[in-house]
Every structure is written in C-alpha cells, then in structure tokens.
Amino acid sequence: MERLIFHLDVNSAFLSWEAVRHLSHTGEDLRLIPSAIGGNPEKRTGIILAKSIPAKKMGIKTGEPVSMALRKCPELVLHPPDFHLYQRNSNAFMRICHAYAPVIEKFSIDECFMDMTGTGLLYPDPVALACEIKDKIRTELGFTVNIGIANNKLCAKMASDFEKPDRVHTLFRHEIPEKLWTLPVDELFMTGRATVEKLRKINVRTIGQLAAMDVTSLQTLFGQKHGSSLHARARGEDDSPVLAVPEEAKGYSISTTLEEDVTASEDARRILLALADSVAARMRADGARTACVAVTIRANDFKNHSHQQSLSAPTDGTMEIYDISCRLFDALWDKNTPLRLLGISLTQLSREEGGQLTFFNDAKREKEEKIDKTVDGIRARFGTGAVVRGAVYKTPLNVGRKYKAQLESKKETR
C-alpha cells in the first residue's frame, strides 16, 4: 500500500501563539507589525526566537541577538518567551490532529507527522482533508499551519516548508524532479552549512545536481554513512516510520550560555554542578545510566572544545557525573581564557537494573543515591526549581536562581 504522510508545521509558532493572546487583550495583531519573540537584549542569551513577516522584511533573522535586531528595526515590538503558553497551544493543535489520524508523531512543540496510510476510503482527497485540518486549526485556535503531503516523512517535511503561511503543498514521488530537484542544495532537510560549502566547492548547487551524483563519490567526500544519507535525501528517499511512541534517547545534553564571562574555576565548577544535577535527573527519570561523560566549553573565539571519558560501569549519580565533569573541565581549560559556554553530555546509555560500581565507596554511593532519589521526588511533586543544591547559590552568576530558564535539558537527536 502506498504510504501517505502529512507534516504539520505551525507558522512562526512562538510569535503566532503570543499574537493570538495579545489580540484577545488589545485588538492588535502582532503578526501584522514588526514584532518578535526574544529574550533580554542586555544578556548574551537574548536572541530572536521567532519573528513576524513584517519583521522579516526589515531584515530580522531568527537566532540573531536581540540587540542586533533592534538596531535594524528600533520600533520592533518584543515579547519574552512563555513556554507554558506554547505548550498549551501545542497540545491544542495536536488534539485536533489526533481526531483525524490513526498514528501521530510529535516532531517538536510546533510540528507533527500524521500517518494517513490506508485512510483513502474515509478521506479520498488528501489535499481537501489537509485544507480541512488547517482551516479547523485556524478557526478554533486562531493560528495558521502549513501542511506538507507526500509518500514519506522527508518529502512531507520538505513540502510543508514551501510557500507560507496557511498553505497545503504536495511532494509526491512523481513531483520530485519539478518541486525538489530545482531547489538550492542548502534547502535539503538536515543539510548543514559545512556540507553545503563542500558541495558548492565541487559546483553542486541544486538538490537535483546532488541527486545526480554517484553515491560512491559522495561517500568518498563525506564518509560512507553521511554520503549515503545525502544521496538518498536528495532523491527524496526515506522509509522511516511515523512513531506514535518516541524512540529511546541515545543521549542527554545540557549547556548554558553565560551572561558574564567566567574567569574563576570555582564559579565554573558551581555551574557544572547545576548542569550535572539537571541532566542527571532527566536521565534518571527515563531509567537510564551513562557510560560516557563529555564536557564542552566555549571561549571568546566562539569555538567549542570538548573532552569525554568512558566509564568502567554505567552511572546515574549526580555527584559522580559532576566529579568526572570537573576533571574533564580541568583538562580542557587553561584558566586564563574567559568562558562563554559550559555544557555536559551523557551518552553510551544502558537501562539494565542493578547497582552501579564506581570509585565511590559503598557508604558514600548509597548516601548519594538516597539524596538523588529524594531530590527527584521533591522536584516531581513541586517543580524543577523546588530544590537547588546549595553550592549553586554561591555563584555570582545566579545559575541556581535561574534554574528553569537557563538549564533546559534536551534529549539529543534520535
């Protein structure tokens, strides 16, 4: 049976969701004026998360510092992010999708895939159905979505990125030469800047030119796995399923961009403790342990540097992860370079039951396990910021007090 996949993408999600709320209070639609969602321009973490179409026309770009955006457009209307608002709206549009599709995969807070395979008798016209879904979301929730329709997830995702907003686009197999291969190679999903630069050096500028290349040549240039993936994506090939239940995480990572340069080792260690506390708790909540800890730092050269250490036995202990992170950090940092970013990642996961064997003695290990279990329980009941380790509060950067805002733990790419 021919697969039929929808990809839904909320148009300028954060801005749209704030606009709906703002419209109900003031009657002014943020989507029609130069506006954006972003942080405090006085902080390094203040960046543009989403912008209106009028702001885009003023040269405002997602990901650029708020201060730069304000120089381009002094009249820019800024609103701070509100992730509780975003989650409510995400849940609302997902509920509408669930009314139509037997299987839905939440791809991000503002995107999902719908597997409509085998629904032809119920919905004979997929384009008409997609229009019905997007119009229902607009009418009931007040914001718009784009919907891409294709025979696989990759092409559905690419189709939803065609002309915006509030549109339905198709990218079926027979449409690939006309609609996909004519696009610039940098628009191919999951193709990064470094890959695009390498392709341009060999005069590959369109997705069609990439699709026409010999796969062996791509494997020689990019490695076997990456080269094969590039070739398949350029040809619009993808057999990945729509997953109602997410795959288990391959790793966990957390980082924080620092509001002030860190020049003291004790401050860096307190930040590492906060990071270790957060990411280890997230991992424990999924019943996982790590056998590899890595630390990443970024200095004023804006380049990331990292070290990792494999463990003789998996662990989920906050303090063990913290102690390893400190040793890795000491090996990385020259103590003279101001730090702009610190991060920890945990990989080589296992989910077997049983005690952990570490360099801690048994009594200390048992004590730390009890502390972790108690802290996890309090946070589960009263929220992430209910308990913060005391040492974190001593840092002048106040990382502990900004626990929820700055230390957002994220699962790595599955």
Q: What is the pLDDT of residue 63?
A: 79
78-82, 87-91, 224-228: range with lowest mean pLDDT: 78-82
> Which three-class secondary structure state does DSSP give residue 215?
helix
Q: Are residues 151 and 277 in the same domain?
A: no
pLDDT at 352: 65
Confidence of residue 259 (pLDDT cuts 50, 70, 90): low
In this prediction, residue 336 has a pLDDT band, given cuts at 50, 70 and 90, of confident
Cα separation of 117 and 300, whole Å?
Answer: 51
Provide the whole-model pTM: 0.69
Cβ contact 255:296 at 8 Å: yes
Residue that is written with structure tokens 């719908």 in the block = 114
pLDDT of residue 389: 55
Domain end (from 170, 200, 221): 170
Does residue 279 share a domain with residue 219? no
Within a domain: 246: no
**Residue 156 sits in the same domain as residue 197:** no
Q: Is 178 a catalytic residue?
A: no
Q: What is the CATH number of the domain that holds 207?
A: 1.10.150.20
The yes-or-no verdict on residue 399 having pLDDT over 50 is no
Coil, helix or strand at residue 399: coil
What pLDDT was estimated at residue 102? 86
Judge whether residue 3 has pLDDT over 80: yes
- Residue 329 in any domain: the answer is yes
The pLDDT of residue 216 is above 50: yes
Q: What does the alpha-carbon distance between residue 202 and residue 393 come to, in Å, rounded to a whole number?
A: 53
Please tell me whether residues 7 and 153 are part of one structural domain.
yes
Q: What pLDDT does residue 310 have?
A: 93
Q: Are residues 258 and 317 in the same domain?
A: yes
Among the listed residues 111, 175, 187, 352, the single catalytic one is: 111
Distance CA 130, CA 4 (A): 12
Q: Is the same domain home to 228 and 135?
A: no
| Both structure tokens of 372 | 């972790």
Domain-ending residue, one of 120, 136, 170: 170
What are the C-alpha distances in Å from 40 to residues 6, 37, 66, 67, 399? 37, 10, 7, 9, 16
Which residue carries 């390498």 as its tokens?
198
Whether residue 274 is predicted with pLDDT greater than 80 in this model: the reply is yes
> Do residues 53 and 113 share a domain?
yes
245, part of any domain: no
> What's the pLDDT at 43?
57
Domain co-membership, 1 together with 78: yes
**Does a structural domain hold residue 244?**
no
Q: What is the pLDDT of residue 80?
A: 87
Does residue 232 carry a pLDDT above 80?
yes
Look-up: residue for tokens 């101001």?
A: 338
Query: How high is the pLDDT of residue 402?
Result: 40
Choose the final residue of a domain: 170, 189, 215: 170
Ordered alpha helix ranges (H), 172-291: 193-201, 207-212, 215-222, 224-234, 265-285
Q: Tell whether 240 is covered by a domain.
A: no
| φ/ψ of residue 184, rounded to 5 | -60, 150
Chain mean pLDDT for the chain: 85
For residues 166-177, average pLDDT: 97
pLDDT over 60 (residue 2): yes
First to last CA, the chain: 27
Contact indicator for 410, 250 with CB cutoff of 8 Å: no
Residue 239 within a domain: no
**CB within 8 Å of 217: residues ≥ 6 apart:** 227
- Is 327 a residue whose pLDDT tops 50? yes
Same domain, 265 and 305: yes
Look up the CATH number of the domain holding residue 158: 3.30.70.270
Number of domains composing the chain = 3
Shared-domain flag, residues 156 and 211 = no
32-36's contacts with Cβ under 8 Å and 24+ in sequence apart are 33/77, 34/58, 34/60, 34/73, 34/75, 34/76, 34/77, 35/76, 35/77, 35/78, 35/79, 36/60, 36/66, 36/69, 36/76, 36/77, 36/78, 36/79
Number of alpha carbons in the 13 Å side-chain half-sphere of residue 258 = 25
- d(Cα 109, Cα 358) in Å, to the nearest integer? 38
| pLDDT higher than 60, residue 385 | no
Token readout for 355 is 């005690």
Could you tell me if residue 394 is inside a domain?
A: yes
Residue 147 and residue 97: Cα distance in Å, rounded? 11
Record the tokens describing residue 131, joined without a space.
Answer: 């229009």
More confident residue, 219 or 402: 219
Considering the domain boundaries, does residue 93 fall inside one?
A: yes
Greater confidence (237 vs 62) lies with 237
Give percent of the chain with pLDDT exceeding 90: 57
Instruction: Single out the residue of 187, 137, 170, 166 nearest to residue 11, CA to CA.
Output: 166
pLDDT at 54 over 50: yes
- Between 75 and 353, the more confident residue is 75
**Residues 119 and 59 occupy one common structural domain:** yes
pLDDT of 283 > 80? The answer is yes
CATH number of the domain that 351 lies in?
3.30.1490.100
Domain boundaries, position 337: 252-411
What pLDDT digit, counting tens, does each position of 182-200 carry?
999 999 998 988 899 999 9
Evaluate if residue 376 carries a pLDDT over 80: no
Q: Between these two residues, 387 and 80, which has the higher pLDDT value? A: 80
- Does 306 share its domain with 334? yes
Q: What is the mean pLDDT of residues 305-321?
A: 91
Neighbours of 218 (CB within 10 A): 22
